[in-house]
Amino acid sequence: MENSFQQNKKSYTAHSAFVEIIQTLIIAFLVVIPIRIFIAQPFIVNGASMDPTFENGDYLIVDQLSYRFNEPERFDIVIFRYPKDTSKFFIKRIIGLPGETVSIREGLVSITPLAGDAFTLKDDYVEYSKIDEYDGTLKNDEYFVLGDNRAESSDSRIWGPLNEEFIIGKAFLKVFPLKEFEFKPGSVLEKI
């Protein structure tokens, strides 16, 4: 009788442990998946288009929530689906905002807002520039994005303005390499 009781106790304990594991997995699934889909997701930088701000292999956490409440701002570093192939993700810096006219002459970027005077960006964060030309006015749902490594970047100069619908979110944390952990990585003070 005692032997039967011990077997039932072991069976009940194993069953209880199994149920706890299933419950934990369900709770984790219900918590983690919505966070991953709607709030934040990981992103690994691939390529040199954002050197020196980000290097190949840097691990970032992308804030997907902010742009549900606020519009993207100039100098935000955004992760987006590449408009020519939405299975690919790109990372670039917002330079021009909806309605603005963007002009690039001899590597200098000038912005003409809807209201106000034209100005030239003081983009000191750009280490590798490129002498090129561009002129274009953005529609109400378009942004002009550039890589910080202008010489190696495929960006709005090449494939045109970025429609807002392709933006996933903005760089929120640089997690790896650990020695370079940073909150709001690549942020620049407004230099206009």
3-state secondary structure 3-24: HHHHHHHHHHHHHHHHHHHHHH
Residues 85/92, Cβ–Cβ less than 8 Å? no
Task: Out of 4, 11, 84, 92, pick the active-site residue.
Answer: 92
Work out the average pLDDT over 38-67.
Answer: 81
Encode pLDDT of 77-121 as tens digits. Answer: 999 999 999 999 999 999 999 999 999 988 889 999 988 899 998
CA distance 45 to 54: 7
Which pLDDT band holds residue 159 (cuts at 50, 70, 90)? Answer: very high
pLDDT over threshold 60, residue 44: yes
pLDDT of residue 183: 61
Question: Global pTM?
Answer: 0.76
Residue 49 annotated among the catalytic residues of the structure: yes
Residues 94/109, Cβ–Cβ less than 8 Å? no
Residue 9 annotated among the catalytic residues of the structure: no
Query: What residue has token string 């100039």?
Result: 74
Residues 67/39, Cβ–Cβ less than 8 Å? no
Task: Out of 49, 156, 170, 174, pick the active-site residue.
Answer: 49
C-beta neighbour count of 76 within 10 angstroms: 24
CA distance 173 to 97: 23
pLDDT over threshold 80, residue 26: no
pLDDT of residue 182: 65
CA distance 152 to 181: 25
Work out the average pLDDT over 121-131.
Answer: 75
